[in-house]
Structure 1
Amino acid sequence: MTDTTTKAPAAAGRGPVPLPAAVARLLIAVGAVGTIASTFLSWTWTPDFPGDLTFYGYPAGLQILALVGGALTLLFGLTLWNVKGLRWLNPANATSPVLLTALSAFAVCWFTGIAIAVDLGGLVNLDPGGFVAMAASALPVVGALALPHPAPGTGVRGYLTKPQQPRPGKLSPLAERGIITAGTAIALVAFTYGIGIDNDASETFIGFLLLLVFAAWGLMHTGLVDRFATISAQHKAFASTLAFVAAVVFPFTQSDDHNANVGVNILIFATVALGLNIVVGLTGLLDLGYVAFLGVGAYAAALVSGSEYSRFSGVHFPFWAAALTGMAASLVFGVLIGAPTLRLRGDYLAIVTLGFGEIFRITVNNLDGDSGPNITRGPNGITQIPDLNIFGFNLGEAHDIGGFTLGRFANYLFLMLIVTAIVVLVFTRASDSRIGRSWIAIREDETAATAMGINGFRVKLVAFALGASLAGLAGTVMAHVNYSVNPQPYQFAGAAPPNSAFLLAAVVLGGMGTVSGPLLGASVLYLVPEKLQFLQNYELFAFGIALILLMRFRPEGIIANRRRQLEFHETGQLDVPAQATLSDDPAVTKAGA
């Protein structure tokens, strides 16, 4: 008897595929094309919805995000058809990247449809393009779920389990640098788009987050993120330089100086988080009052920077002297607090540092001339701090450079880029040094490290003092950016950053012990409340939910330190053998040597 079963094109390494799988792939392609086409239609008849989705042939707002999601779905869907030239996007020919990218478009389209109905009063406000987008974006999800199950018997977990990737081929150094350049450019475009979303367009920013989360999740399942991280590590100097150049280019892409202000604040908090990362991430000391060191640096700089409300109003140090004053004051406080307390461990140390943070805030609140000496002006703070003037360049004035007008906050952004580069250099050099390896040894097992001859108290005191001085450096810039300092922000938890809970969450969320982790964590934790104004009354609740989810699904943080990844996962769950993974950690390699 002749077999008349229709066969679909063979996927790489799978042989003939039954018809249902071919239909599933067709659903993915048709749904992705339909999603892309729907973005050129009107989704609602009224321009009252953020982004004005009433135009035909001109995607805007959430339609642009749906277009990107649909394009990613189509691109990864085509990898299942073994399209020549796309195999590198999905080397394992896995289902999960296709499902996750399909979910990115699905989440954006369905969120938009529901948001239009809720904001404008019913589904009647949806134009045909909105219904087409919702229907078309559902097809790739159905198609991905209809494909052969990647791990039969595991349920949903099988679809969301990261597949084992084949060993990547060797690329030329030029090609690897090209990949780093492309990845950096994509990151710059994504960040620029996200920060440029209007604060009143919360719906657009939520759609941006949905697309970003699912698309990044899908890229991680393809192995591209790990491959990019490996290549960047091999060309560390080139990748760091390119990231710095991208940050320099950012102000030239913004027409609103407010966005540059957001960028400045992100860099300030990221710099402070990097200092805290020395204490928490490398040394393993739980510091719950770290924001006080930021306040010490800010107040010290404010007192000597020429403010007429300063107790020393006749003193006006240049910036370099004010920065050194802020760093020195924070370092002294770090030593004074650390010397008697660092013999404590665990929860006891956390309680002492929490107490120090509260004592600092209460003290500067009472130094108002009534409850104590008139030094900080109490709740009123020190105001009218003059803008910085560095080598005749007034950072408070707008400047025209190459046809672009850079406002006040753009000038301070460039200054903070230099400060951040210095802090990153200090962090990396310290972590790779002998004392950095001592910090890691103390974090892993203080008793064993002490038995091996490491002076635990001295090593921890150096970490505490260095972290405090870096926070003080950031505080000197923050005082000038904000024109004033007051006691309100310097508390453990508050309605807005900076606060110790925010800084600690940035380190844990981004990835303890890494350089880029706190930078990413601070960016996310500052940008989300800034764009989602309705979360202001629920910020701590949202932080709690985010940290619970993170601890459940990725306890090592978004950007994982390889050593911590081994601590939280079994060897079989990693993409590389344990021995190879250990060799990627410079601290382990040097310790083994």
Structure 2
Amino acid sequence: MTTKIPAQQTADTTKVNTAEATPLIPLPPTAARALAAGGSAVALVGTFLAWTWTDEFPGNLTVTGYPGGLQVLTLVGAALTLLFTLSGYGIKGLGWLTPGGTNSPVIWTALGVFGTTGYAIGAISYELGGIVNLEPGAWVSIIGALIAVIGALGLPVDQPYDHSDPNPGTWERITQPFKAPAPSRAKELPAWAEILIIAAGFGIGLYVFAYGIATEDSELFIGFLITAAFGFTAIGRAGLLKRLSALTAKHRNITLAAAFAAAICFPFTQTNDQFALIGANILIFATVALGLNIVVGLAGLLDLGYVAFLGVGAYAAALVSGSPQSSIGVQFPFWAAVLTGAAASLIFGVVIGAPTLRLRGDYLAIVTLGFGEIFRITMNNLNGNSGPDVTNGSNGIPNIPDLDFFGFNLGIAHDVLGHELTRSGNYYLLMLFFTAVVVTVFRRSAESRIGRAWVAIREDETAATAMGINGFRLKLLAFALGASLAGLAGTVQAHVSYSVTPEQYQFAGSVPPNSAFLLAAVILGGMGTISGPLVGAALLYLIPAKLQFMADYQLLLFGVALMFLMRFRPEGLVADRRKQLEFHETGQLDVPEDKPLPEGATGVAKAGA
């Protein structure tokens, strides 16, 4: 069956292309939706039955009537599939679930349920020694998931309006950015209701993030990644993320407050100190990535040695921390150590940037890469043999004492509102404060006159210079500001890890942060945005920390992931409007094929050509 999508008008009343939304499997729409709903319901019921007879598989999938482990993920995915499917029936009260499109969310959630359940069955069979270890519940869920996928693929695929190919392939129709018909204007909600929606959104995000960190088994974490990836895509295709973004843009200050309130609650959701430590390291990684975003995302300077500034701040703080192995032998209060680390990185940023920022592109990248390696080698050589005894060479500076604020020692656990806040939780909250400072600096800088000049330099430095912008001075300012923010995070990292060594600050390695992972976090998350590097850094730190058995293939998998990202979402996971327009079709007016151009008119190209 073929469904025609009506032509729409863009904001400037320009017509754009439309394409026929043909289902991937030829089924009547009513039957397809019934299969999707029925299959997801069957998969959901299967999660309440035992999937295996032994509790040797993580998650204890032997209990009937109480889902656990991977069963919970299948249950959540099946419930979302069922809700999106019922929303397509036009049931009153569910229309808000799909403001942007009713079919694409069903397809993605159904595929997610099938992927999670299939992975669970494969993992059980592999670890326990064959499919004989499966109980009926697993078969019920996988059959229901398969039926739901068949039904979902029988629904007409929501088509993008700017698709220039009238006969797109299957993969293109699934992966193309979806632009649904403009829905009727939503009823204006009172301000308090919009604020509650923002709070609920961050609350759900906190729960999902805390659940992912708290997964102790790699099998459960992989299933979590599958469910989260497909579920997030489905929610985006449904239009819910776009509406939430509109609310957050309307209430920006409240959004920032809600985000940090949710982040403050994170250590109180963790009972394992190791998981809280992962959260603290993610914040360190994310803060440094946000500083790099000033250099790369705003000013457009490719810096491949940025991790060296993190090392400068960490070494400066370690030398004045009072460590017995420090060659200086002094102990500054923490506020003075923070200023020392930030100032040292700032000075190095100016010293390195002044002679090198007259270079552009690949040449600048090579010079900064050399600086990163020079820093690491120098820290190795300042060992008393190859050079002065300052950094203790490859042994680094160990035994860095914990911080103490007015009698509040961050190295010991404290009881806060009846909950034990561990050492990692203490440092997490401290790092969250510095993250708030860096976010504020980034936001104010990006929205200022200097920030707009940085963007102009990034887009075309020659044109910016012709307009009167002092490119060198502003690039040096971006380089110095980014370096000082990295040094700020380095001071906390030195105390969190108890020691600093040269091997921690390489261009590439198996453990972040390093220059390659920092740059990838900015690109993956979305250059020039605030939340993009935070999301990218969280993913790039969390996944290696949870899947340590894949350490030998980490860089290979990382490269493959970047290739897919560049192919299907080059603007990053969280992209600003400028990047979306740069990397995707804009729906500009096509040249009518039946009407020739006026005589003398040239240079008009079709959209997408």
Contact 1:40 1:58 (C-alpha < 8 Å) held by counterparts: yes
2:463 to 442, 448, 452: 448
Question: In 1, are the aligned partners of 2:158 and 2:180 still within 8 Å (CA)?
Answer: no
Equivalent position of 2:444 in the other structure: 429
| 2:123 counterpart (111, 115, 118) | 115
Is structure 2 residue 153 aligned with structure 1 residue 145?
Answer: yes
Identify unmatched segments of 5+ residues in structure 1. 1-17, 574-593
Report deviation, 1:160. 3.9
Equivalent of 2:251, from 227, 232, 235? 235
Q: 1:185 aligns with which of 203, 206, 210?
A: 203
For the residue of structure 1 that corresponds to 2:587, the secondary structure is helix
Q: Which amino acid in 2 is paired with 1:211?
A: T
The CA RMSD over aligned residues, in Å, is 1.6
CA shift in 2, pair 1:274/1:93, >3 Å:
closer
1:164 and 1:288 map into 2 onto residues whose CA distance is 40
Residues 273 and 422 of structure 2 are in contact (CA less than 8 Å); yes or no, is this contact kept in structure 1?
Answer: yes
AA aligned to 1:36 is L
Give yes or no for the alignment of 1:202 onto 2:210.
no
User: 1:19-77: CA deviations, max 9, x gaps?
Assistant: 93222111111111111111111101111111111111111110000000010000001
Instruction: Tell me how far apart the structure 1 counterparts of residues 27 and 373 of structure 2 sit (CA, whole Å).
Output: 67
Structure 1 pair 368–376 and aligned structure 2 pair: CA distance change class (3 A): same
- The AA in structure 2 aligned to 1:295 is G
Alignment of 1:226-305 (within 5 A): 226-305=242-321
1:177-576 pair list within 5 angstroms: 177-198=195-216, 201-313=217-329, 315-572=330-587
Cα distance in 1, alignment partners of residues 488 and 156 from structure 2: 56
How far did 1:561 drift? Answer: 1.3
| Cα distance in structure 1, aligned partners of 2:470 and 2:158 | 51
Moved over 3 A (4+): 148-153
Name the aligned partner's letter for residue 491 of structure 1. Answer: Q
Counterpart in the other structure of 2:169: 155
Match of 1:87 in 2: 95
* Alpha-carbon distance, 1:565 to partner: 1.2
> Residues 96, 413 of structure 1: CA spacing in aligned structure 2 closer, same or farther, 3 A cutoff?
same
Unmatched tracts of structure 2, length 5 or more: 1-25, 160-165, 589-609
C-alpha separation between the residues in 1 aligned to 2:399 and 2:85? 58
Partner of residue 190, structure 2: 172
Deviation at 1:353, TM superposition (A): 0.0
CA contact (8 A) 1:94 1:163 kept: no
Q: 1:291 to 1:530 in 2, by over 3 A?
A: same
165-174 or 222-231: which moved more?
165-174
- The offset of 1:467, in angstroms, is 0.2
Q: Name the amino acid aligned to 2:67.
A: P
Q: TM-score scaled to structure 2, two decimals?
A: 0.89
Amino acid at match of 2:169: G
> What is the aligned residue count?
555
3-state SS of 2:420 partner:
strand
> How far apart, in 2, do the equivalents of 1:464 and 1:249 lie?
34
Amino acid at match of 1:303: L
Compared with structure 1, are the counterparts of its residues 165 and 261 closer, same or farther at alpha carbon in structure 2 (3 Å cutoff)?
A: farther
Structure 2 distance, partners of 1:149, 1:473, is: 49
SS at match of 1:512: coil
* Mapped contact 1:165–1:222 kept (Cα < 8 A): no
Q: Report the AA paired with residue 266 of structure 1.
A: I
Distance in 1 separating the partners of 2:79 and 2:168:
29
Contact 2:100 2:240 in 1 (8 A): no
SS in structure 2 at match of 1:571: coil
Q: Residue 79 of structure 1 contacts residue 93 of structure 1 at CA under 8 Å; is this kept in 2? A: no
> Secondary structure at the residue paired with 2:30?
helix
How much does 1:203 deviate?
1.2
Q: Which amino acid aligns with 1:42?
A: A
Displacement of 1:272 after TM fit? 0.3
Structure 1 length-normalised TM: 0.92
Q: Residues 96 and 160 of structure 1 are in contact (CA less than 8 Å); yes or no, is this contact kept in structure 2?
A: no
Structure 1 contact 95–159 (Cα < 8 Å) conserved = no
Distance 1:20 1:165 in 2: 22
Mapped partners of 2:203, 2:407: distance in 1:
33
Structure 2 partner of 1:582: none
Amino acid at match of 1:347: D
SS across alignment from 1:461: helix
Asked whether 1:42 is paired with 2:50, we answer yes
